[in-house]
Amino acid sequence: MTALNRKPLYTESHSGSGYGDRYEAQYAGSGFHSRVWTLEQQILLQVVKATSGAYMDFACGTGRVLSFLEARMQTSTGIDVSAEMLQKARQRVTRSRLLQVNLLEENLDPLPMACLDLITAFRFFLNAEDDLRRTAFACLGSLLAPGGRLVFNIHGNKLSLRAPLVLLYNGFKSLYYAVAKRQPGIFSFRRHLSRRQVLAYLKEAGLVCESTYSYAFIPYPLASLFPERIWRAIETLLVNKRLLFGTHLIFVCRRASTGSSAAVLAGPQ
């Protein structure tokens, strides 16, 4: 396959001209993504309330998560491969260091090993290639200080109400690309992962899942049928019950101690 018609890599997908503006537009107003972000903020506050020290937001994009958490940490850093996304982040963050780093190239010289008390990674792992997921989990785990936490989300839960719609959508898309004899792009198909699949990645990387939160139980576009106040009340109730069939999942992880790796797949719910 030539460079002209090969499928683009995920590390290249956010670097195109204008992508930062398109990404930011998803969170404008009171649409689905904006609603979901309010739930994520509530969960993040619960997760990091007793955390301080050194913080890094991996694949920080336009700095949405980084800007929300930076004031709660002693030091904060955002890394991303996209110069355009980082340019947007500079307009938002107030005290964080921003680095253009490609994890695949192992260009981690500015980041001392085993030094971070908190790492976040949002909207990355779901669409990343399998090898990239493994590389990222291993590298991020190596950057955690003793007692440090990796907090990341999966915005496509295989056990959610969204999953059957994903299968139907992908079936039609597969038929279209087969008939049109076209090469699909990185975001042509909707993806999803199960909690069990994610835990397997963590175990391979020597990480233990301490807790899992799920949210966005009412998926897009059904969420738009509910007034935001009612939608938020339903979602908050289901999040607090710690049910796991929401469209999104947040995992809170730490490095496994010696002899504890067997506990990963049976970790806390």
| Of the candidates 252, 68, 47, the residue with the CA atom closest to the CA atom of residue 144 | 252
The confidence score (pLDDT) of residue 113 equals 64
Residue 33: which of 75, 64, 68 has the closest Cα? Answer: 64
Structure tokens of 118?
């908190």
Residue 56 has pLDDT above 70, yes or no: yes
Looking at the domain assignment, is residue 16 inside a domain? no
pLDDT for residue 13 is more than 70: no
Query: Beta strand pairing status for 248-255 and 207-215?
Result: antiparallel
Mean pLDDT of 136-151: 94
Q: Is residue 97 classed as helix, strand or coil in its secondary structure?
A: strand
Domain count, the chain: 1
Average pLDDT for 261-267? 36
pLDDT of residue 25: 79
Condensed to tens digits (0 to 9), the pLDDT of residues 155-167 reads 999 999 999 999 9
Average pLDDT over residues 160-188: 91
Q: Report the CATH number that the domain containing residue 39 is assigned in CATH.
A: 3.40.50.150
> Is 177 a domain residue?
no
- 228-240 and 32-48 helices, crossing angle to 10°: 40
For residues 259 and 92, what is the distance between their CA atoms, to the nearest angstrom? 42
Q: Give residue for tokens 């940490």.
A: 73
Per-residue pLDDT, 2? 39
With beta carbons less than 8 A apart as the criterion, state whether 59 and 126 touch: no
Strand order in the sheet with 97-100: 97-100, 75-80, 54-58, 116-121, 144-154, 248-255, 207-215
Size (the chain), residues: 269
pTM of the model: 0.89
Q: Does 263 fall in a domain? A: no
Measure the N-to-C terminal CA separation of the chain; round to a whole number of Å. Answer: 43
Give a yes or no: residue 19 inside a domain.
no
Task: Give CA–CA dist 31/155, Å, rounded.
Answer: 16
Asked whether residue 175 is assigned to any structural domain, the reply reads no
The answer as to whether 71 is a domain residue is yes
**168 in helix, strand or coil?**
helix
> Which residues share a beta bridge with 158?
none
The residue-averaged pLDDT of 81-86 equals 93
Range of the domain at 57: 29-157+191-256
Per DSSP bridges, beta strands 144-154 and 54-58 are unpaired
User: Is 209 contained in some domain?
Assistant: yes
The answer as to whether 249 is a domain residue is yes
What pLDDT shows up at residue 152? 98
